[in-house]
Amino acid sequence: MPDFRVLYTDRGDYSQDLDLEQPLYEAIGAEIIDARLDHNALDWDTYARYLKDADALICFRVPVQRRALDAAPRLKVAVRSGVGYENFDLAAFAERGIPACNVPDYGSEEVAVHALAQMLALRRRVVFFDRTLREGYWRGAPGSLPMRRLSQQTVGIVGLGRIGREFARRAGPIFGRVLACDPYIPASDFVAAGAEAVELDELLARSDAVTLHVPLTSRTRHLIGARELTLMNPSAVLVNTARGAVVDQLALAEALTSHVIEGAACDVWEREPALFDHPLFQCENFIGSPHIAGISIESQIDNRTKQAQEVVRVLSGQPPVNPVLAED
């Protein structure tokens, strides 16, 4: 009989087994339960049966709300498989005194590099030229636009946390000026990142390229909508590797179709997996990727190891390293 049961509600990659985590759990007598639930078609009765005996849970996209916590009388800790934690009801966790944790530092380099790669592809129109070359145009293809030197352009970073700072470190030598918006960090962090601190509206109006690096909360949901997109320059581009719902993606599709802005790229989607009839896929000035910005062999090892270590830590009677707290 195991001392603990660790419930994996869902995982991002079922091609991998849990051999990396197994030795960590065996050391404290914990058993792994790999439920493989579907967050888009969640059967509550099945979910509740798993929750009933769970001492810890690790989730990817399955929501852990008040009802789930009520169905989990033995639960001592929950860990989100990644940086974001929007599927946790943090107020309910706080009421129960159960730590809700994330893995905030496993893929900062990868996400920053992916955001920069998408931004450079937009600014240099890499996807456009690849497509038109395959269509038989050497130069002068319909839809061609002038390109400006990047060292003469301004990049804006919304959110100067771990990933935002990693982005600034890489983008600073490429772009002529770096702006940043983040009301939660001290002025010294802007200075260290080589960024000028501005409010969001000013950043949108002054930037040639904007990248988003904020968590999804009630304050940041649709942070970028139709109004914000109209503040941007018609020649500007937007990159979102944060969370899909930080951007109103239908408003973004309309802005791209109407040429309110020149281009956009999204690695994240309001619904995941993305629906392939999404209006953004009809926009030729759009680049998409399937929420893989944080993925590398090394980052996945970090993520999986740190999830398990956090669970083992709490089940062994120690405080968590990366608890997340409810908004004020």
What tokens were used for 12?
A: 């991002």
Sequence-separated (6 or more) residues with CB below 8 Å from residue 226: 248, 251, 254, 255
Return d(Cα 58, Cα 42) in angstroms, integer.
Answer: 16
User: Cα-Cα-Cα-Cα dihedral of 221, 226, 231, 235, to 10°?
Assistant: 110
Active site residue: 31, 86, 202, 272, which one? 272
Active site residue: 125, 206, 243, 304, which one? 243
Q: Is 243 a catalytic residue?
A: yes
Radius of gyration (C-alpha) of the chain in whole angstroms: 21
Return d(Cα 128, Cα 124) in angstroms, integer.
Answer: 9
Q: Is 166 a catalytic residue?
A: no
What tokens were used for 140?
A: 């002068």
What tokens were used for 315?
A: 């089940």
Return d(Cα 124, Cα 262) in angstroms, integer.
Answer: 12
Active site residue: 80, 291, 304, 313, which one? 291
In 3D, which of 169, 170, 193 has the Cα closest to residue 180? 193
Q: Is 114 a catalytic residue?
A: no
Tell me phi and psi for residue 317, to 5 degrees.
90, 10
Return d(Cα 2, Cα 133) in angstroms, integer.
Answer: 61
Instruction: Name the β-bridge partners of 182.
Output: none
Neighbours of 70 (CB within 10 A): 12
Per the CB < 8 A criterion, the answer to whether 236 and 261 are in contact is yes
The catalytic site residues sit at 243, 272, 291
